Amino acid sequence: MKAPAVKVRMYDVGFGDCFLLSFDYGRLARHILIDCGTTARNASQERSRLLPVARDIATVCGGRLDAVVITHRHRDHVGGFARLKNAEAPGNVLAALSPRLVLQPWTEDPALEEHPSPARREFYKSLTEADRVAAEIFREQSRQFAKTRPAQFASLAWRTFANRAAIDGVRSLTGRHRYLHRGQKTGLEQLLPGFRVLVLGPAPPEDEASWSVLERNSARERWRALGGGSTTKLFALRAGKPLFPTARTWSPGLFPPPARWFLERIQDMREDQMLSFVRAVNSDINNTSLVLAIDGFGHRMLFPGDAESDSWRQMLADPRLREFLSGTTLYKASHHGSGNGTPRSVWQLLARRRPKAQPLVTLLSTRSGIYGSEEKRSEVPRTDLVEAFEARSLLLDTRKATGRAKGGVRYVQFDLRRPGEQDGPDMLKQAA
Amino acid sequence: MTIVALDPSVRRRGRILTARIRIPMEDLGPGPRGYRAYVVDYDSSAAALYEPYQMPLADEFERSSSKDLVADPRFHAQNVYAIVMRILGRFERALGRRVPWSFGGHQIKIAPHAFVGANAFYSKEHEALLFGYFPSRSGRGVVYTCLSHDVIAHETTHALLDGLRERYTDPSSPDQAGFHEGFADIVSTLSVFSLPEVVAVALEARPGRSGWRLRSSVLLSVGKQIGRETGSQCSGCLRRPARLRPSKTILRGAGFQKAHPRGEVLAAAMLDTFLCIWESKIRALSRGQDRLLDRGKVIELGARIADALLTVSIRALDYAPPTDISFSDYLSALLTADWETARVDAEFQFRRYLRASFARYGIRATARSRHSPDEGVWPRPQVVLDYAGTNHDAMQRDPNEVFRFLWQNRRPLGLSEEAYIRVVSVRPCVRVGPDGFVLRETVADYLQVVHVRAGELKRLAGSIRKPAGMPDEQRVTLYGGGTLILDEHGLLKYHVKNGLDEGARQSARLRHLWRSGHFQDKESPQS
């Protein structure tokens, strides 16, 4: 079988992901969309940024998408699927492309609540509840956070608050919906002849060996630590309502001096605790990312969504997966180039020595200044990671996108070389 | 002073089971605030600071109803203060000296209603014990972790252990990770069972002959009320050490490599010891009688055994290495601690039962030398030491004097000359044995640290093996250390050490840390 021409169009959506993969077999063409979302100040900005992108996707794929892959539920990956009833939204445009197949991680299966497997029901319950509690905590504390931690507030709020419209938008896409875990068939092989598509993550909860490599089941423990009950009950005890209404309390201005040092710190601790909880639940959601490898005709393309350390640790615990990952030819940098998204052990595996004619390609979809700080070495993308990408791979970065399309759309596009093509020392051409 | 004996769910004749305990008499400030602890009743979730409680000399809660005890924040303040001071007092009595907090200050802060949450924890950074509260599952009322005796004792133990053995929170082996939790469970459970009121209720849990079936008593579970309220899978408790079936291979199981479950094994072994001794004494009491025993005697016996075992458990810390502790090390420390104060233990035979119970859980004492005075007890040093120029008086208090002694004897003591060595503490102790005789010792800890690259490991003494897959340029830190026990003359009695040159131990530690991702997540790709 003749190898298809493969193009990958990485849209510059700011801090978010949106990838359109096009496979041209000559007589037929296939188009796969992996995520569509961004980080914005508000829904209006989100729409204005993503609507032209959705329209460009419709143009490139000729009005028909073959498959949509949603790696996980965070808004910067799925926000583009939100629809509006009486106005045009990116989700309306994408829905009209009628994908035949919609792939998500098993954790997004709406039937999980009634699943016969107790492990799955438990996992779903703890993750969903923790996610909802995180959003509620964040909403409750948002005024305080905006005052005391403004730098972290806006971007964390975007990811944390309920994303109902987009999740509903995805659920109502036409086509066959599949909710996948490691090792399962995706159905993409029927659409992409000659390729095999492997699901490398997330691991199912029944896979004890995979989960035992982690230090903790964080979502479950966090949810339990909060009281395990419904958030309604929890927030009946929230700020402004003392536990002991008849007991005398001190006015803030009159706190006794010996206690003041402690009181300021305990308040700080509580805010840090709440923020850590929210960040940790975000991280747990990231670790449910659908990790796909599209393998064939000398290419091995790895799209890990926002998989973080825990997810990678589970994958790397399997020696066969380690071997497989070491043959990656194209790597979509996980989690927008964060340090957690590409741990050192993963990068060492991916960036092993390879022929000059076939360098590793790294795709980086990100924007600086949205998350983290250089001072705390938590900036996203991580500076030294980007340097490593540049030193050991061919780095394609949305921040340097030169591709243009209607509506102010910016993108990076490259064509993967067919085996045997001899069009120059550089394997890849970046479309201007 | 009145305290909650276990937690508000444990009642006797419908009333919360309380106990009256004694704590050192002191002139308390509002809080209460004493010389070692300060209750600051601040609720960060409600942003409310309750007025500090000025505890009167007479206990005003002795006859309070259960409803009043739960509803009155002043009682909560008294409860946490009293239990914290009780545990502190037990530590000081067992160790024969004052016990420092790890943060350098003198008064640990206690916030009985610190935040909304089914959690309680010790924070070194905040110099505090923080207790959460959360809605009851039934929707009626609130569950206060500050009213759970075992939770307060557990968290206080973390704080005290941190003050005594700061390095036990360093990344190390699964045993060290589990030790803090296991030890805290041991102290909380034994201290609760040293209250006759609790033992009495435990005996009532299953009346008649099956009253001896203490293992199944739910009272042997830590965090009972909280576990039930948060819907723990452990059917009503957070951890159930008493129900953990003994198995010699349990510590090799995949489910016991993390801190909490591994700590449960340690606690289970200690509880097994306690129960075996108690059951054996009850059988001895019932011999030659018509099986009706004086209940009061049985209760008093149980409380006494728990109290004595608690003393040994705490005292053992002084005979344990200061770094990389293993459960086997702790067993040798227990046996040595008991040996030093009770050579002939006719009453409870702690050493015999400790060895047997721990063995049931696959834990054998580290000390297996023919020079050990008793099975599993640390041997006396078999090296010739140079005491020339040593000031024996200064050896009881001056870290520089102890370092001088260490350096002068670095070769016979097996210290690595490539490491940074520091004497962490020097503490004189006065311990009293069960026979009333006094034992004077000095306990001095030292730490050794060396920073190397993984590729250099093979040239270090001890043939430390680099974990498979670790690059040569990976930076690693090796720890070693030792506890010196000096007798009343300043002569070395015991040297309990984890050497930098112990290849098997160091290799196992590095392997565990590498596999658990300790190195991989912290380093950037290019470093």
Q: Which two tokens stand for residue A134?
A: 């995180």
Average pLDDT, stretch B330-343?
93
CA-based nearest residue in chain B for residue A382: B524
Q: A421 pLDDT band (50/70/90 cuts)?
A: low
Please state the separation of Cα B266 from the chain's center in Å: 10
Looking at residue B110, what is its pLDDT? 97
Q: Produce one character per residue of A402-425: b if its CB has 16 or more CB atoms within 10 Å, e if not.
A: ebebeeebbbbbbbbbeeeeeeee
Average pLDDT, stretch B107-135?
91
Q: Which two tokens stand for residue A172?
A: 């109502």
pLDDT at A424 > cutoff 60: no
Q: What residues of B are in contact with residue A224 (Cβ under 8 Å)?
A: 118, 230-232
What does DSSP assign to residue A236? G
Q: A427 pLDDT band (50/70/90 cuts)?
A: very low
CA distance A9 to chain B (A): 27
Q: A140 pLDDT band (50/70/90 cuts)?
A: low
Among A172-176, B56-60, B140-144, B214-218, the range scoring the smallest mean pLDDT is B214-218
Closest in A239, A252, A339 to B46, CB measured:
A239
Residue B44 touches chain A, beta carbons under 8 Å: yes
Q: A335 pLDDT band (50/70/90 cuts)?
A: very high
Beta bridge partners of B439: B431
What does DSSP assign to residue B33? B
CA distance B340 to B485: 11
Spell out the alpha helix ranges (H) of A317-407: 319-325, 344-350, 383-392
For strands A249-250 and B48-50, give the pairing: antiparallel
Residue B117 touches chain A, beta carbons under 8 Å: yes
Looking at residue B225, what is its pLDDT? 62
Mean pLDDT, chain A, rounded, equals 84
Closest in B40, B45, B258 to A239, CB measured:
B45
Q: What residues of B are in contact with residue A345 (Cβ under 8 Å)?
A: 469, 517, 520
Q: Do A242 and B117 touch (CB under 8 A)?
A: no
Q: Do B50 and A244 touch (CB under 8 A)?
A: yes
Amino acid occupying residue A349: L
Q: What is the pLDDT of residues A162-211, one digit of tens each?
A: 578 898 999 999 999 999 999 999 999 999 999 999 999 998 877 877 77
pLDDT at A262 > cutoff 60: yes
Amino acid occupying residue A379: E
Q: Do A247 and B135 touch (CB under 8 A)?
A: no
Interface-testing mutation among A208, A249, A254, with chain B (most B C-beta atoms within 10 A): A249
CA-based nearest residue in chain B for residue A246: B72
CA distance B472 to chain A (A): 13
Q: Do A225 and B117 touch (CB under 8 A)?
A: yes
CA distance A70 to A84: 20
ipTM, two decimals? 0.74
Residue B114 touches chain A, beta carbons under 8 Å: yes
How far is the first Cα of chain A from the last one, in angstroms, to the nearest whole number?
30
pLDDT at B527 > cutoff 50: no
Interface-testing mutation among A344, A347, A387, with chain B (most B C-beta atoms within 10 A): A344
Mean pLDDT, chain B, rounded, equals 86
Cβ atoms of residues A26 and A63 within 8 Å: no
Average pLDDT, stretch B395-405?
93
Q: Which two tokens stand for residue A29?
A: 């063409």
pLDDT at B233 > cutoff 60: no
Q: A231 pLDDT band (50/70/90 cuts)?
A: very low
CA distance A231 to B258: 29
Among A143-152, A418-427, B140-149, B156-165, top mean pLDDT goes to: B156-165
CA distance B257 to chain A (A): 9
Tokens 């992996």 appear where?
Answer: A34
Q: Do B73 and A343 touch (CB under 8 A)?
A: no
Cβ atoms of residues B41 and B113 within 8 Å: yes
Strand (E) positions, A108-264? 176-180, 196-201, 249-250
Closest in A213, A229, A263 to B135, CB measured:
A229
Q: Do A244 and B127 touch (CB under 8 A)?
A: no
Peptide bond into A202 cis (omega under 30): yes
Q: What is the pLDDT of residues B412-437, one digit of tens each?
A: 999 988 899 999 999 999 987 777 77
Q: Do B116 and A263 touch (CB under 8 A)?
A: no
Q: B72 pLDDT band (50/70/90 cuts)?
A: very high
Cβ atoms of residues A428 and A414 within 8 Å: yes
* Total CB pairs under 8 A between chain A and B: 166
CA distance A42 to A162: 13
Query: What are the distances in angstroms from CA B374 to CA A244, B317, B337?
Result: 57, 19, 12
Q: Produce one character per residue of B449-470: b if its CB has 16 or more CB atoms within 10 Å, e if not.
A: bbebebeebeebebebbbbeeb
Q: What is the pLDDT of residues A141-176, one digit of tens each?
A: 666 676 777 666 666 777 666 578 898 999 999 999
CA distance B97 to chain A (A): 28
Residue B524 touches chain A, beta carbons under 8 Å: yes
Looking at residue B525, what is its pLDDT? 41
pTM for the whole structure: 0.79
What does DSSP assign to residue B53? B
Q: Do B73 and A262 touch (CB under 8 A)?
A: no
Spell out the alpha helix ranges (H) of B388-484: 399-408
Query: What are the distances in angstroms from CA B5 to CA B18, B83, B196, B219, B408?
Result: 5, 10, 10, 11, 52
Residue B236 touches chain A, beta carbons under 8 Å: no
Q: Do A215 and B258 touch (CB under 8 A)?
A: yes
Q: DSSP string spanning B185-202? A: HHHHHHHHHTSHHHHHHH
Q: A224 pLDDT band (50/70/90 cuts)?
A: low
Cβ atoms of residues B46 and A243 within 8 Å: yes
Query: What are the distances in angstroms from CA B197 to CA A142, A212, B187, B201, B298?
Result: 47, 41, 17, 7, 12
Cβ atoms of residues A247 and A99 within 8 Å: no
Closest in A225, A238, A342 to B118, CB measured:
A225
CA-based nearest residue in chain A for residue B514: A345
Closest in B49, B232, B526 to A255, CB measured:
B49
Q: DSSP string spanning A373-392? A: -TTTT--BS-HHHHHHHHHH
Q: Do A233 and B255 touch (CB under 8 A)?
A: no
Among A71-75, A223-227, A256-260, top mean pLDDT goes to: A71-75
Tokens 């991680």 appear where?
Answer: A105
CA distance A226 to A238: 13
Residue B288 touches chain A, beta carbons under 8 Å: no
More confident of the two residues B374 and B284: B374
Q: What residues of A are in contact with residue B111 (Cβ under 8 Å)?
A: 262, 266
Among A266-280, B171-185, B195-209, top mean pLDDT goes to: B171-185
Q: What residues of A are in contact with residue B44 (Cβ under 8 Å)?
A: 266-267, 269-270
Among B370, B321, B375, residue whose Cα is nearest residue B509: B321
Which burial class, exposed, middle or buried, applies to B471 when counting CB atoms under 10 A from its CB (0-12, 13-18, 19+)?
Answer: middle
Looking at residue A234, what is its pLDDT? 54
Among A262, A263, A261, residue whose Cα is nearest residue A251: A263
Looking at residue B292, what is its pLDDT? 60
CA distance A216 to B433: 42
Looking at residue A113, what is its pLDDT? 83
Q: Do B231 and A343 touch (CB under 8 A)?
A: no
Looking at residue B24, what is its pLDDT? 83
pLDDT at A131 > cutoff 80: no
More confident of the two residues A301 and B488: A301
Q: B241 pLDDT band (50/70/90 cuts)?
A: low
Q: What is the pLDDT of residues B1-22, one digit of tens each?
A: 999 998 898 888 888 989 999 8
Write out the H or E segment, with its range, that includes residue A52: helix A43-60
How far is the first Cα of chain B from the last one, in angstroms, to the nearest whole number?
58
CA-based nearest residue in chain A for residue B256: A212
Residues 6+ apart with CB under 8 A from B353: B273, B276, B277, B280
Cβ atoms of residues A8 and A363 within 8 Å: yes
For strands A176-180 and A196-201, give the pairing: unpaired
Among B266-280, B312-326, B453-467, the range scoring the smallest mean pLDDT is B453-467
H helices, E strands: number in chain A: 15, 16
Angle, CA B318 vertex, CA B312 and CA B319 arms, to 5°: 85
Average pLDDT, stretch B240-246?
75
Looking at residue B204, what is its pLDDT? 67
Closest in A227, A259, A351 to B230, CB measured:
A227
Q: Which two tokens stand for residue B372?
A: 């050990």
Residue B104 touches chain A, beta carbons under 8 Å: no
Tokens 């993984």 appear where?
Answer: B454
Q: Is A200 helix (H, G, I), strand (E, B) or coil?
A: strand
Q: Do B134 and A212 touch (CB under 8 A)?
A: no
Looking at residue A212, what is its pLDDT? 66
Q: Do A238 and B45 touch (CB under 8 A)?
A: yes
Looking at residue A206, what is its pLDDT? 79
Among A123-127, A243-247, B67-71, B139-143, the range scoring the smallest mean pLDDT is A123-127
Q: What residues of A are in contact with residue B43 (Cβ under 8 Å)?
A: 242-243
Residues found in chain A: 432
CA distance B190 to B154: 11
Q: Which two tokens stand for residue A81?
A: 């699927």
pLDDT at A237 > cutoff 90: no
Looking at residue A241, what is its pLDDT? 64
Closest in A236, A239, A263 to B135, CB measured:
A236
% of chain B exceeding 70 in pLDDT: 89
Looking at residue B234, what is its pLDDT? 39
CA distance B81 to B79: 6
Q: What residues of B are in contact with residue A256 (Cβ under 8 Å)?
A: 52
Q: DSSP string spanning B379-426? A: PPP-S----TT--TTGGGT-HHHHHHHHHHTTTTTT--TTSEEEEEEE
Q: B236 pLDDT band (50/70/90 cuts)?
A: very low
Interface-testing mutation among A226, A243, A251, with chain B (most B C-beta atoms within 10 A): A243
CB count within 10 Å of CB B22 equals 10
% of chain B exceeding 90 in pLDDT: 54
Q: What is the pLDDT of residues B434-464, one digit of tens each?
A: 777 788 999 999 999 999 999 999 888 778 9
Q: Which two tokens stand for residue A90?
A: 């990116």
CA distance A263 to A269: 10
Cβ atoms of residues B44 and A270 within 8 Å: yes
Average pLDDT, stretch B248-252?
92
Q: Which two tokens stand for residue B203?
A: 């005996």
Q: Do B33 and A237 touch (CB under 8 A)?
A: no
CA distance A30 to chain B (A): 36
CA distance B127 to B134: 23
